[in-house]
Amino acid sequence: MAEPAPRPSALSGPQKALRKLGLLRAIDLALHLPLRYEDQTRITPLAQAQPGQALQIEGTVCSTEVRSGGRRQLQVLLDDGSGRCTLLFFHFSGAQQKALAPGVRIRARGELRSGLFGPTLLHPQWQRAEGELPQTLTPVYPASAGLPQAYLRRAVVGALERADLSETVPALAWADCPGLQPEPERLAAAPQGSLRAALHCLHQPPPGVALDSLEQRTHPAWVRLKAEELLAQQLAQWQARRERMLRLAPALPPRPEGLAAQLQAALPFALTAAQVRVGAEIAADLARSTPMHRLLQGDVGSGKTVVAALAAAHAIDAGWQCALMAPTEILAEQHFGKLVGWLAPLLAPQGLCVAWLTGSQGKAERAAMLEAVQRGTAALVVGTHAVIGEQVRFARLGLALIDEQHRFGVAQRLALREKNADCEPHLLMMSATPIPRTLAMSHFADLDVSTLDELPPGRSPILTKLLGAHRRDELLERLRAQLVQGRQAYWVCPLIEESEALDLRNAQATAAELEAALAGSKGPDGAPLQVGLLHARLPVAEKKAVMARFCAGQIGVLVSTTVIEVGVDVPNATLMVIEHAERFGLSQLHQLRGRVGRGAAASVCVLLYAPGENGRLSETALLRLRALAETHDGFEIARRDLEIRGPGEFLGARQSGLPLLRFADLAHDAPLLEWARTWAPRLLAEQPQAAQAHIERWLGAKSDFHKA
Ligand code: ADP
Ligand code: MG
């Protein structure tokens, strides 16, 4: 199946465009499936045409005229013997005008409208009426600039001839595949019975095929392709799992009276049942000598940090080091501050310490930390990406904990893996955005998942309110009332995607506005109410100082861009205001909301929305926000986010390197996914070569990503 790719320098424009789309091999082109089809097989006489109908007409040009009163336009009058129709072009070249000279016979396609000049086709596709009509529907492919459809069509036709389309999946598996089910005995003869037949059917649909079933991707040929794609994805991940099982990690069996037990005894609370269960799942993984690859997911506030601390304790107890990584410095501190506070006192008597590694730290401090890590006296190494920096040498890294895993990429996970010469550390990833089940099954099949599905007791429910921006004054009054009572609040400023500068200006203006509104009011201690400002541009030291003052209760309201998105834990904060809530993803809003309701007092989350240009928030935007207000179940919210925004959000798509599904759709193809999940391990065991060929065919060079 291997086929050399052409040298880049020798490529034409369209060839380069093909490359950019990842269409390198013949098989890649063969698997590049149409978005939709045009029907050029039929000519509709104008006398029978209806307004609104998409059609193709054939006729002779009677007149061609450029009009320039008002908008410049080319008007071409066409006569097909049964009637007349105007073709209208607003963009046209001199050459086009010439080609449409009176007397020329052409075919034109478009949607018929009743216009000022009678029946009209606006900007129709057209060509000279030459040769026979095509026998099959004409495919329209996903393309890009510099890649004409006609070129792509020829390339696909050629590729279908050249590509190796031999079967890689046994008939037995197909006979079991939902959607191809009704007549398994006829399967071999049916068009979807072979990959070749299915591809021909999709690229060159025979006349009479139900266009609907093609465009909605319910036709058996589509089902077949989607099933193949899902199977490739499952095979690649099963294979990655098998390879992982062959690698070596240190076995870290729990010690009965060890550090973990001491930690648990020292905690000011009892673990929830969910924490106990998940802790046991992780401990069982750690006791094995194959590397753990586990995701710990749980809603905001479900108590992941304790579970992580217990895992770290197991590793340290067994004489190994544990690394903790968070995507930003402030998160590292917020997330792990508690954990370090719990563990450090238990480590000290053993002569062990905690090392911090961050990008902003001074040279001397860093050198001392690096040495402790290398000597092994640092049992716990906490920080940002700096933890996997090249100069960081671990004496014996046994466990790596990654918080907010979706913000790290494949390269970083690989770097962690290579931190030990002879064995691989166990890996525990944490996420507060629960992954919907179908997504876990498809994209994260090589990941064991533990879920904290229970919140610690004593949390007060959060009331979520939607508020139009015009009620801002009321809100400011409410904020003042809270702060005067000694409560604290967050005020999150809108996300302005392209411009950090604008974000900043906005946050600054808001802080000034709040200061003005609160001027003259005092807290219960008699001190004036303070407004804090936190944004991405602040130097790390200043961010930390602001956070520290907020945690200590010296700042009443913290105005912030989304840097507080995760990890902050201030139980006295009872009001969360999110401006322009309509610009945030649901899961993100849910995360933000989770910053309040951490203490016993009742908390409120206000979603401020600004009406659009027409003075109203769109119906769908409002529905989304209402849905959020009504549910507190992170899974349900994640499922809706998946529906609305696709899997990219969950995967951190760009850096995860996971190949996204091109054809299968998790919302509709769950039965096919189940099928692929059942068959992948069987095929790998029974027909490893065919399975390998299948992965190669579908994922090509991308299959390496699964191994990270
Ligand atoms: P997250 O899952 O969002 O990371 P945290 O680990 O930060 O949640 O926990 C949220 C808060 O709940 C912390 O203050 C933590 O100390 C507390 N907590 C964790 N587990 C329990 C428990 N079993 N009982 C009471 N409080 C707990
Ligand atoms: Mg956390």
In the chain, domain spans: 1-38+135-160, 42-128, 259-452, 462-631
Which residue has its alpha carbon closest to ligand 1 atom 17?
Answer: 303
pLDDT given for residue 483 in this prediction? 94
Ligand 1 pocket: which residues have CB below 6 Å?
Answer: 269, 271-272, 275, 298, 300-306, 338, 432, 456, 569
pLDDT given for residue 443 in this prediction? 75
Which residue has its alpha carbon closest to ligand 1 atom 10?
Answer: 301
Which residue has its alpha carbon closest to ligand 1 atom 20?
Answer: 303
- Does the domain spanning 42-128 belong to CATH 1.10.150.120? no
Place of tokens 């936190």: 534
Which residue has its alpha carbon closest to ligand 1 atom 24?
Answer: 456
**Separation of CA 452 and ligand 2 centre (Å):** 12
Distance CA 219, CA 698 (A): 20
The secondary structure element, H or E, covering residue 264 is helix 259-266
Angstrom distances, CA of residue 173 to CA of 199, 486, 680: 19, 66, 10
**Separation of CA 48 and ligand 2 centre (Å):** 67
**Separation of CA 37 and ligand 2 centre (Å):** 49
Whether 259-452 and 462-631 share one fold: the answer is yes
Which bound ligand lies closest to the C-alpha atom of 309?
1
Enter the tokens of residue 201: 């059917």
Contact 563, 536 (CB under 8 A): yes
**Separation of CA 680 and ligand 2 centre (Å):** 35
Tens of pLDDT, residue by residue over 541-550, are 888 889 889 9
Which residue has its alpha carbon closest to ligand 1 atom 4?
Answer: 304
pLDDT given for residue 59 in this prediction? 95
Contact 366, 357 (CB under 8 A): yes
Which bound ligand lies closest to the C-alpha atom of 402?
2
Contact 430, 404 (CB under 8 A): yes
**Separation of CA 122 and ligand 1 centre (Å):** 62
Please state the atom number of ligand 1 nearest to the C-alpha of residue 594.
Answer: 3
pLDDT given for residue 406 in this prediction? 64
**Separation of CA 275 and ligand 1 centre (Å):** 10
Strands 138-140 and 36-38: antiparallel
**Separation of CA 707 and ligand 1 centre (Å):** 33
Which bound ligand lies closest to the C-alpha atom of 335?
2
- Best probe residue, ligand 1, of 305, 343, 564, 566 (max atoms within 8 Å of C-beta): 305
Enter the tokens of residue 289: 């000598």
Please state the atom number of ligand 1 nearest to the C-alpha of residue 270.
Answer: 23
Which bound ligand lies closest to the C-alpha atom of 304?
1
Distance CA 483, CA 553 (A): 10
pLDDT over 90 (residue 279): yes
**Separation of CA 592 and ligand 2 centre (Å):** 12
Which residue has its alpha carbon closest to ligand 1 atom 15?
Answer: 303
Which bound ligand lies closest to the C-alpha atom of 270?
1
Place of tokens 């997911």: 297
Residue 114: band (very low, low, confident or very high) from pLDDT cuts 50, 70, 90: confident
Which residue has its alpha carbon closest to ligand 1 atom 18?
Answer: 303
- The mean of the pLDDT values for the chain is 85
Place of tokens 């990959």: 195
Mean pLDDT, range 674-689, rounded to an integer: 93
| DSSP three-state, residue 566 | coil
Which residue has its alpha carbon closest to ligand 1 atom 19?
Answer: 303
Distance CA 555, CA 529 (A): 7
pLDDT over 90 (residue 64): yes
Task: Give this prediction's pTM.
Answer: 0.73
Number of residues that make up the chain: 708
Which residue has its alpha carbon closest to ligand 1 atom 9?
Answer: 303
Enter the tokens of residue 593: 């909301």
Distance CA 305, CA 271 (A): 12
Please, what's the largest Cα pairwise distance for the chain?
99
The pairs formed by 522-528 with CB atoms below 8 angstroms and a separation of 24 or more are 522/484, 523/483, 523/484, 523/486, 523/556, 524/484, 524/485, 524/486, 525/486
Place of tokens 């340290």: 316
Q: Quote the CATH superfamily of domain 259-452.
A: P-loop containing nucleotide triphosphate hydrolases (3.40.50.300)
Give me the percent of the chain exceeding a pLDDT of 70: 89
Which residue has its alpha carbon closest to ligand 1 atom 23?
Answer: 271
- Best probe residue, ligand 1, of 272, 299, 304, 306 (max atoms within 8 Å of C-beta): 306
Place of tokens 């876990």: 440
pLDDT given for residue 634 in this prediction? 81
Distance CA 468, CA 470 (A): 5
**Separation of CA 224 and ligand 1 centre (Å):** 47
pLDDT over 80 (residue 536): no
Tens of pLDDT, residue by residue over 477-510, are 999 999 999 999 999 987 655 566 666 678 889 9
Tens of pLDDT, residue by residue over 122-159, are 989 888 998 888 888 889 998 887 888 889 999 999 99
Q: Which amino acid is at 626?
A: R
pLDDT over 50 (residue 1): no
Three-state helix/strand/coil letters over 573-606 = EEEEEECCHHHCCHHHHHHHHCCCCCCCCCEEEE
Which residue has its alpha carbon closest to ligand 1 atom 25?
Answer: 456
pLDDT given for residue 289 in this prediction? 95
pLDDT over 60 (residue 63): yes
pLDDT given for residue 7 in this prediction? 61
Enter the tokens of residue 490: 């967050």
- Best probe residue, ligand 1, of 331, 404, 569 (max atoms within 8 Å of C-beta): 569
Q: Which amino acid is at 367?
A: A
CATH number of this structure's domain 462-631: 3.40.50.300
pLDDT over 80 (residue 281): yes
Tens of pLDDT, residue by residue over 649-667, are 555 544 444 556 888 887 7
Give me the percent of the chain exceeding a pLDDT of 90: 44
pLDDT given for residue 504 in this prediction? 67
Residue 101: band (very low, low, confident or very high) from pLDDT cuts 50, 70, 90: very high
